[in-house]
Structure 1
């Protein structure tokens, strides 16, 4: 089976506590570096009001939607703060530090 991971950004361009938006075909992703330097990729739309999560604030291992304050766990996509009650999809990430690349598998099945 071929490797489905594709490069989406340079690790050196994403500081801890920062999020960027990435488009892969019809898929819009928020690629986020948490406060500890871990990298995550999730659907770039708040499940409450279709707002870009990549414009939100990263705190620890969460991202907060700037419009209504819903917070999502970067590892699971689960909402941690109302008004959102539905999770957002998360995608597997690999980091190739030698090539300074963040790679995402956009074909991964939806997370539960």
Structure 2
């Protein structure tokens, strides 16, 4: 199967779906096929290997604590909280990846503690 290249970078991309219904919808599957996008096989019970989901969870909690009252405030608070996130938290997420992979392999794709 051919993979889609980014228009400016020429890099090939692989789509990493999760359990979001919009990613599993028939129309989405047809679109991916039509665009010749490579799709990563992904356990339906284990979207937790995607580290960006964990980053967003950390950011979401920090933003919710500040209770933004409008979109402008939300955008400003998101930027501030993202900048305040210590580098070690991001490094820790990346460093945890081998353990997460091992857990998924051990459970044969079933859910893990992560």
With the length of structure 2 as denominator, give the TM-score of the two structures: 0.23
Greater strand percent: which structure? 1
Greater helix percent: which structure? 2
Find the structure with the greater CA-based Rg: 2
